[in-house]
Amino acid sequence: MNPAQSWHIVKRPAGHCEIVPSNEVPEDNHPEIIEQWGPFTSEGEAIKSRVGLIRAGKCQPL
């Protein structure tokens, strides 16, 4: 894994949010992604943010 890699949270149509590396986030509007947040500097930071999004009701837990 590249230590300088950034991470994003993407919301899928089912309401679940996934953490993906920045190189896996599509450039243009993609029907599989409803919303996205990021970039985050670490996967841990993205995980903490996803927990906050779940608690706020913006994402469904997996």
In the block, residue with structure tokens 């599989």: 32
Please tell me the predicted confidence (pLDDT) of residue 3.
Answer: 57
CB neighbour list of residue 48: distance below 8 Å, 6 or more residues apart: none
CB neighbour list of residue 28: distance below 8 Å, 6 or more residues apart: none
Residue type present at position 17 = C
> What's the mean pLDDT in 16-30?
87
CB atoms within 10 A of CB 5: 13
> What's the mean pLDDT in 38-54?
97
pLDDT at position 1 over 60: no
**H-type helices in the chain, by residue range?**
43-55
pTM of the model: 0.86
